[in-house]
A and B are shown apart, each in its own frame.
Chain A
Amino acid sequence: AQSVTQLGSHVSVSEGALVLLRCNYSSSVPPYLFWYVQYPNQGLQLLLKYTSAATLVKGINGFEAEFKKSETSFHLTKPSAHMSDAAEYFCAVSSMDSSYKLIFGSGTRLLVRP
């Protein structure tokens, strides 16, 4: 069975600093992984996805993530945080059964200090 663990329920960075949000997965087969962002009172918006092509995946708004099989990780990074990046971020893995189901981590709230 697939699962996802996000380390750190809250991460605080200064504007302009590096953003690093951690995600580790567990999967018995090569996984499909996603990062989503959620702004207050909104649905989830896809930032990027890994589907076994390039291990370094570039997404929207300057975010990228690197798939590391040896570390079972898919950490999300952004070189320079912007105030508008403040939101909750979710890592998810796609279930490999005969349906469409995303298994989400518990989320990380990113705070950006001016």
Chain B
Amino acid sequence: KAGVTQTPRYLIKTRGQQVTLSCSPISGHRSVSWYQQTPGQGLQFLFEYFSETQRNKGNFPGRFSGRQFSNSRSEMNVSTLELGDSALYLCASSLGSPNTEAFFGQGTRLTVV
């Protein structure tokens, strides 16, 4: 079956702009979570959606937001980009219970200049 698809793979944006990243989960998975990966901070949880509802949110400013559609596809948005937002953004798809594994997309590499 198809894996997790993230688009685009690479993005270059200018400070102050906004960006939208997309994630299509594995068919049948209703949970989509997002992580930010940087060399300094490692893998940090952004938020998780399950059946269109945000169930959890990490410690990120309000500039980071997300949503999930009825087909489980998810988007995350970052407004007013800062240089420090440059990172690999990873989307993970799962069945949504703690004893199940997450399947990750290849990520979107965002560079803010």
Partners in one complex: yes
Verify A34–B48 contact, CB threshold 8 A.
Answer: no
Closest CB in chain A relative to B8 CB, distance in Å: 14
* Number of A residues with CB within 8 Å of any CB on chain B: 27
Assuming A51-B99, A94-B99, what are 8 further A-B pairs, CB within 8 angstroms?
A36-B104, A43-B6, A43-B105, A43-B106, A95-B56, A99-B50, A100-B96, A103-B45
Report which of A41, A43, A101 forms a contact with B4, defined as CB distance below 8 A. Answer: A43
Interface residues of B, dominant DSSP = strand
A44 at the interface (CB under 8 A from B): yes
B104 near A45: Cβ-Cβ < 8 Å: yes
Q: Which residues of A contact B (CB under 8 A)?
A: 32, 34, 36, 41-46, 49, 51-52, 90, 94-107
Please give, as numbers and ranges, the residues of chain A lying within 8 Å of B100 by CB-CB distance: 100
| A32 adjacent to B90 (CB under 8 Å) | no
| Bound complex: CA A80 to CA B48 (Å) | 37
| Residues A101 and B45 in contact in the complex (CB < 8 Å), given A45-B104, A94-B98, A95-B98 | yes
